[in-house]
Each structure stands twice: as structure tokens, then as C-alpha cells.
Structure 1
Amino acid sequence: MTGLRYVYAVCRPFGAALQAQLTGVAGAPPKLLSHHGLIAVLSEVPERDFSEEPLKAHLEDLDWLTATARAHQGVIDALTAVTTPLPLRLGTVFRDDSGVRVMMEAREDVFRRTLDRLEGRVEWGVKVYVDPESAADADERPPAKAASGRDYLRQRRMRTKSHEEMWQQAETFARRLHETLSGRAEDFRLHAPQNSALSGAAGRNVLNAAYLVPRRESEEFVEVVDRTKDDNPGLRVELTGPWAAYSFTEERQGNEEGA
């Protein structure tokens, strides 16, 4: 290799082959670098794009960032199908193989401890949204023409009560769902609700959680989520995964170019 080293993940040795024709960041196929019984999964990337200054500039380019993130995730997904990877942060770059080995030695204990904990496990994401039409109905339904000021105030109180009951119902449903799912998972993380303006998802997010589930128990976990999807009209449950266990790694790496 003559370019920089873009590292996707660290994992233990695995016997199954990765997908044929798999390409990663910058269109480069992933390679395996073995060191002290661990594997770094990496690609060669051009210095003109991934050295420190160009990389900083590219990270401000939404189109470039989206394409790079998609390629990065594609390699992680391929690894997740055959082993338990410990994903590194997007844009983790080293000067050469020696730099990758130095990083692996420095973090070897953490890598091994985390891989032991995550072995045979995957992450499932569950989000609950209040349907935007239901929220709009509660917020914007025009009141009937009031016969008097007293009628107007009564209608306002009824609309406020209806609005509060809708959100209370949503939060109760989300809390009960989380209690059920966390009881079927080995670990969980509750993330901050997503801002719909940023995520592009319709509706108000009232649950944004990740669950660590043994791979062999994933089918049952998915069935539990599927059974809840029609329990409450006006609410939407979204399930994503299985993913590499991003939310359960013990440390997240920053950009490492030049290490």
C-alpha cells in the first residue's frame, strides 16, 4: 500500500469471506491487517483527500460526507454479517500500517474487553413517533363557533386537555415499550429524541433507543416490536438493524491521521 490507511473497525480473526466485489471508502476494497491476534479492517485512501487539511474541508461537504459515510457503513454491515466488529469513527486515518499497529497496541486492552462483551451480539434501534396528522389534529382543529365567551373558554380547555392526553398517551406507550424491550435485551441506551427538522422523519420523536441483543435472540426481539406497531393508532414504531453495536462501545475514536 502506498496511500493512507482508512480504518473501519477492529475485530477478532474470522473465517468467513467478505462479500465479493465489496468496496469501501474512495472505492477501495477493504484489507485485513492482523496484529496481536486482532484484525484491523482498512482501505488504502489517497492522501490528497484524507490527509488532515483536505479531510477537514471534505467533512464540511455534505455530498462528499454522505458518500463516504455510506461506503464506511457498507463495510461495517458486511463485517457484521460474518463477525462482531468494533466500529471506529468515520474518518479514522493513519499514515501507514505501522501507525495502525501502534494504535492497536495502545488500545488493545479496551478492544479485547469490548469485543468480549459484544461477541455474538447486535444492536437494534427502536424509535416511536407521534403521527404528524394526529398532532396536527390536536393542535389545529378549528373550534366550533362559540356562542359566548364562556363557550370559547370551555372549547379552549377541551382542546388543551385533548392535546395533553395525546402526549401523555404517547409517552406512556413509549415508556411501556421500552420496559418490555429492555427486559429482552442485555443492555440499552436511551438517546435524546431526534429533531424532525434535522432528521427528516415525520412526527415528533418520543422514544429513541438502542438495544444490545444476542444475535440468536434477535428474531424474538423483532417479533415483540412488530406486535406493538398496531397497538396505538396515531403512533408509529420504527425498527432498524441489526447493526454493529455502535452505541455500546467503550470508547469512540477521533480522526487519527498522522498517528
Structure 2
Amino acid sequence: MSDASLTYAYAVARDRTPALAAEAGTLTGVAGAPVRLLTPDRTTTPVAVVSHVPAEDFHEAALHRHLEDLGWLEALARAHHGVIEALAAHTTVLPLRLATVYLDDDRVRAMLDDNQKLFFDGLERLRGHVELGVKLYVEAEPRPPAATDAPPDPALSPGRAYLRRRRTEQDARHDAHRAAEEAAQRIAVIARAHAVQWARHRVQEGELATGPGQNVVNDAYLVPADHVRAFREETMHATDGLPGLRVDVTGPWAPYSFATLTPPEPGTASAP
């Protein structure tokens, strides 16, 4: 490593297996750098998945500046998650926070040594599990009952007719949100049967929104691999009989929302 580069850490795995090493050797990570595996100084496990990144883009001040650039951040996230998902297909990995950067490989090795039990406990907890995302949407403009499409009552003044239409539209929105509460309760019942952990995320708005309608639920679930199909199928029926709603199930993913994260050491930077 040169003085002009830092060490970017993606994830931690328990062992340096031949399959993991072979897969890592095929991957290109952040900033187009080849992905490598690092082992601790005092033992051979766990292993960190890393690559070199240019210091000029990833030292603390530059990183904070770049994180305000949505295009740069999107490219970083795509490369980061691409590495993790590729390795998660071969073994259990403990994802690290986006933009976890160390001054050099030796700092990563020391981090592995110092947190060995933490990593082993986390990897054991996640073994055989994946993350599924559930998003629930309310239609952006709920359609009021068909009766309101009838010609306006000639006995009403324009002002009163307008107020009636507004009240009907508000009632339709309230009905949609009550239906969303019912759907969320159904999903909670399904999760109790299939998931072992649950994490609530901020609903997606503005540029983060990925579909039509208002996102009212954005949750993640840690699900045993052999329950994924049942969880997905049952959740997709959570809105049955509830008009104006849409549910999306994403994944399976590496368990980002349930990873025990290592705080960055002094002299490193990580994304919020």
C-alpha cells in the first residue's frame, strides 16, 4: 500500500475458506480496486474483506464532502453492497458500515484481533439467516367512492360542492391509512411466525422513494433461510381486501440491518 491509499473494509467473515478467497479474487470493489481478504495478526480468524481506496477521496474531510454528492454516494453504495452480496452467497458475512475506512491494513488486523469475540458472536447469530425488506405504500391519490363521480347537486353552491368533494377525498385518504394499519398488523403476525428479528427504517420520501404512492412502512426482517419463501408469499397477501395499498418484499439480502457494527478507530471515517 502506498501513502496515497487507505484500506476500505466491507465486511467480516469467520474463516478464509477456499471458496471465499476464490470469490473475493474475482471482485472489483470501491474505486475499481481488487478485493482482498485480511487475517488478524494473532490468529487466522476472523477475516476482513478489504480493498485499497485513494486517500484523496477517502480521508475524513474529503469523505464528508463526497457524501453530500448523491451520485458519488450511489456509486459507492453500489460497489460496497455488490461486494457484500457476492460473498454472502458463499458464507455468512457481517456487513460493516458504508465507507468504513482505516489508515492501513495493520489497523484492520488490529481491529480484528481486538473484536474477535464480538465478530464471532455476531456471525453465529446471523448464520443461516438473511434479511428481507418489506415496504407498504398507500396510493398517492386515493380515489374517492364512485358515487362522487355523479353530477354535483344543483342545490349546492359552488363553495359547498367544493367542500363536499374535499371532505370525500379526505375520508378516502383516512380510509386508506386505516387500511394500511390493518395491513401492518397482518405483516406483524406473519413476522412473528417466520422472523427472528425486526428493524424499522425511516420511510422513503422524495428522491429516495422507489415507487408510486406514499411509503408508510419500511421495515427489515431477519429470517431463517428456510422460511424465506413462506414469509414472502404470506406478506404479499397482507393487503388482500384492502384497496389503495401495495406491498413490496425485497431480498434476500445480506443482513445489513442486523449486523453488529464496529465503530471506526481514530483517524478513520465512516458514513452516517
Normalised-by-shorter TM-score class: 0.7 to 0.9
Determine helix, strand or coil for the equivalent of 1:188: strand
Report deviation, 1:179.
Answer: 1.9
Match of 2:135 in 1: 127
Which moved further from structure 2: 150-159 or 238-247? 150-159
Q: Which residue does 1:8 correspond to in 2?
A: 10
Secondary structure at 1:18's aligned position in 2?
Answer: helix
Q: Does 1:32 align with 2:37?
A: yes
Question: In the alignment, is residue 210 of structure 1 matched against residue 220 of structure 2?
Answer: yes
Shift in Å at residue 151 of structure 1?
Answer: 7.2
- Identity between Structure 1 and Structure 2 (%): 44
In the alignment, is residue 183 of structure 1 matched against residue 206 of structure 2?
Answer: no
Matched, 1:163 2:173: yes
CA contact 1:127–1:238 (8 Å) conserved in 2? yes
Q: Report the residue type matching 1:5 in the other structure.
A: T
What number of residue pairs does the alignment pair up?
256
Q: How far did 1:60 drift? A: 2.3
- Give the drift of 1:213: 0.8
Contact 1:89 1:255 in 2 (8 A): no
Distance across 2 between alignment mates of 1:221 and 1:39? 32
Q: Mean alpha-carbon deviation: is it higher for 33-42 or for 55-64? A: 55-64
Instruction: Give the Å deviation of 1:160.
Output: 3.8
Q: CA deviation at 1:169?
A: 1.4
Tell me which moved more, 212-221 or 80-89: 212-221
Q: Is the 8 A contact 1:196 1:204 kept in 2?
A: no
CA distance in 1, matches of 2:106, 2:248: 43
Shift of residue 120, structure 1, vs aligned partner: 1.3
Residue 238, structure 1, aligned to residue 248, structure 2:
yes
Q: 1:113 to 1:224 in 2, by over 3 A?
A: same
Which string of whole-angstrom CA distances, capped at 9 and with x for unpartnered residues, describes residues 106-157 of structure 1? 3222212111111111100011101224x2x249x77852413697576665
Provide structure 2 residue ranges, at least 5 long, that are not aligned to the other structure. none
| TM superposition shift of 1:231 | 4.9
CA 1:256/1:143 → structure 2, altered by over 3 Å: closer, same or farther? farther
Deviations 1:54-93 (A, max 9, x none): 2222222222221111111110111111111111111111
Q: State TM-score, norm by structure 1.
A: 0.86
* Amino acid aligned to 2:201: H
Q: What is the one-letter code of the residue matched to 1:101?
A: R
- Is 2:236–2:248's contact at 8 Å kept on the other side of the alignment? no
Q: Calculate the TM-score normalised by the size of structure 2.
A: 0.82
**3-state SS of paired residue (1:162):** helix
Counterparts of 2:72 and 2:207 in 1: how far apart (Å)?
21
**In 2, Cα distance between equivalents of 1:209 and 1:253:** 24
The gaps in structure 1 that reach 5 residues or longer are none
Letter in 1 for 2:12: V
Q: How many Å separate the matches in 1 of 2:262 and 2:109?
A: 17
Compared CA separation, residues 227 and 15, structure 1 to 2 (3 A):
farther
Aligned CA distance change for structure 1 residues 170 and 67 (closer, same or farther; 3 Å):
same
